[in-house]
Structure 1
Amino acid sequence: MEHPIIGYHKDEEDDWVAELSCGHNQHVRHNPPWQLRPWVTSRKGRESRLGHQLDCKKCDRNEPKDFKV
């Protein structure tokens, strides 16, 4: 199920995590060659993706929310 990105934070390993409107978090790493997400490396890039839809696997599995929306 797709939900828009509403914010970001870094995890304990200093990786970027997208906060989705559904209340779930999802890592948004740029680790070539497996994941090409150069936009995550800059503040301007991350801001440009606010509202972008990501497929939330946690919603598909009916997992509890990571945070309150």
Structure 2
Amino acid sequence: MNHSIHSADRATHLKIVVVALVAGIGVAAFGIAARTGADYSQTAQSTQVIKAGKPVVVTSSGSSEVR
């Protein structure tokens, strides 16, 4: 067994690369699977348009008047 990465042979380096690759694919797959239940209606591509209503003037008596 190699106790140092510097003195490790080619097979040990290959094992480390394979384990890192499998772990990276696992993390990516988990992230993609976690997004499948997301609500895509509120994304940046499909924003809702809010239109302005009629202008309202508030008077000092507390009532509002629509012009």
Q: TM-score range by the shorter chain?
A: under 0.3
| Higher relative strand content | 1
Q: Normalising to structure 1: TM-score of the pair?
A: 0.21
Q: Which has the larger radius of gyration?
A: 2
TM normalised by structure 2 equals: 0.22
Greater per-residue helix proportion: 2
